[in-house]
Each structure stands twice: as structure tokens, then as C-alpha cells.
Amino acid sequence: SELVNLFASFKADIKADLEEIIKKEIANLNVSVRFEEQEKKYKALKKENLELKVIIAKQQKVIESTRRQNNVVLFGIDETVGENVDLLENAVLDLCNKVLTVHTSKADLNYVRRIGKVGNKPRPIVVSFVSNWKKREMFQNVSKLKGNRIFVAEDQDKETQSQRKELSQVYTQLKAVGKNCRMRRNGLVIDGQFYHYSDLVKKDNSETVVDKGEEGDEEDEGGTSEVGVSDALTKSNKRKRIKKNQQEIVMPAQSVSTNTLKELFRARSDSGSSTKSSRK
């Protein structure tokens, strides 16, 4: 009987040890499962956070655009020592009423202020109108500034300014080779065709192939004019790259044939008016 009791005791100890081992293994499995669940939740939250950031960025862009929609920027108006808001408003009103012949009073102005650092040249003036109608009237009459060193532009954010700078370089080269070209909003009108800036954007080093559209009913009848456009783009932007928001803006460095011009631009109908007067 002593041997039986010893065997029973030994069996009970083994059972207890096995139960303890099993409990620990189950606990470890539970921890592993919980960790995987938490990891999944973390990845889901991270994805949601990135999506929210994109949505917020778009909303901020809309808000910023809405904030600037009634604004214009005036360049070339003399800046005097001790200039105050009243003097600035009067200078703007004189320009609107006497030069542009756009009837404007102080009631039409939301605010007027200079921007930028004080330097040797007059700083630009941001004019915010109460209504968008006054702004449109001003742009309709910008031709009256011909021969004047004052010109008017849209109030744009930094991203748009950068794009306009790039487009301006292309515009200069195209005019130099005799192309019929003008800047319009976020693109160029070349020989009656509108080319959007975004068609020059390369994302993840992949080429964007686009089609050429039309502006109104105008079409290019000859096949040689597009070569001049692409050559001008090549000369003005050879090997130039701009990195922004994990994108590359690339102006082609190689010579481009007529058939491959559409790899540079997407043509799109655009009936908006020009936003910037020429400095004559």
C-alpha cells in the first residue's frame, strides 16, 4: 500500500505540473492573440489617420482658396515712409477709380495691407474685396494699366506660386521662339490649346501619358508647331527637377517629337480669364 500511495502522490505531482505548464502556454497564447489584435487595431488606426490627414489637407486647401478668392495683389505702387492704412487704402482707391475706372469705395474693401519684408523696392499690396464682383471688374480692366509699371495678380498660395514660376519659364522660352502663348490659371494656352500644369508631374518616377485637347473649336492644322513647343520646353527646363510632397516635377531633358508632345501636357478646355496683367 505504501508503494501505491507513493505512485499516487507522484501521479498527482505530474498532473499538477502539467496543469501549470498548460496554463502558462494558454496564457502565452492569449498574450500572442491579444498582441496580434492590438497590432491590427494599430494598423487600422494608422491607415485611418493617414486618410484623415489627406482629407484635412484637401479641406485646408479649399479653405485657403476660399479665403483668397476675393483678393488681388498689386505690384509697383510706391511705398512711402510712415505709410498707414488710410494712405494705403486711398492709393488703392485712386488706382481703381482713376486708372482702372472701376467705381470703388472703402465700403468695398475688406482689408488692404502690404506683404513681405521691407527692402529697396515697394512691397506688394494685398487687397481683399468684400465681393468677388469688384475683383472681376478689376481684372476685366487691367489692360488700362498698359504702359504703367503697376500690375495686378491673383493672391495665390506658395504651391500655386511655385507652379506659376515654372510655367513662366516655359512661357518665356515659347515666346522667344515665336509661339502664340499666354498663361492661364494653372497652365498655358499654346496656339489655341490649353496645357495643364499637372501633366508635367511625375509620381513615383512613372510617366503620365495624356491626350491633347482643345480650347473652344480651335485646332492646330500644321504638324510642325508642336515641335517648337517641345523644343522650347526642353531648352527651358533641361534636367530641372523640383521635389515636393514626395512628387517630382520633371521637365524633359531629351528632344521630343511631335507625336510625344502629349507626354508633356494634357490638353483641356479652359474658359477662365487670365489672372495676371502683362508688365508693359
Write out pLDDT tens, residues 40-93: 888 888 999 999 999 999 998 889 888 899 999 999 999 988 889 999 999 999
The mean pLDDT of the chain is: 73
**Cβ(269)–Cβ(196) below 8 Å:** no
CB atoms within 10 A of CB 249: 19
pLDDT at 193: 81
pLDDT at 268: 42
Of residues 3 and 228, the one with the higher pLDDT is: 3
Non-local CB neighbours of 174 within 8 Å, separated by 6+ positions: 181, 188, 190, 228, 229, 232
Q: What distance in Å separates the CA atoms of residue 150 and residue 277, rounded to the nearest whole number?
A: 9
Of residues 75 and 200, the one with the higher pLDDT is: 75
**Cβ(149)–Cβ(107) below 8 Å:** no
pLDDT at 221: 34
276 pLDDT tier (thresholds 50, 70, 90) = very low
Of residues 163 and 269, the one with the higher pLDDT is: 163
pLDDT at 52: 94
Q: Is the pLDDT of residue 29 over 90?
A: no
199 pLDDT tier (thresholds 50, 70, 90) = low
Q: What distance in Å separates the CA atoms of residue 187 and residue 164, rounded to the nearest whole number?
A: 8
Of residues 198 and 22, the one with the higher pLDDT is: 22
Q: What distance in Å separates the CA atoms of residue 163 and residue 165, rounded to the nearest whole number?
A: 5
- Whose cell is 515665336? That residue is 178
pLDDT at 248: 42
* Mean pLDDT lowest among 24-28, 66-70, 200-204: 200-204
How much is the average pLDDT of 101-114? 94
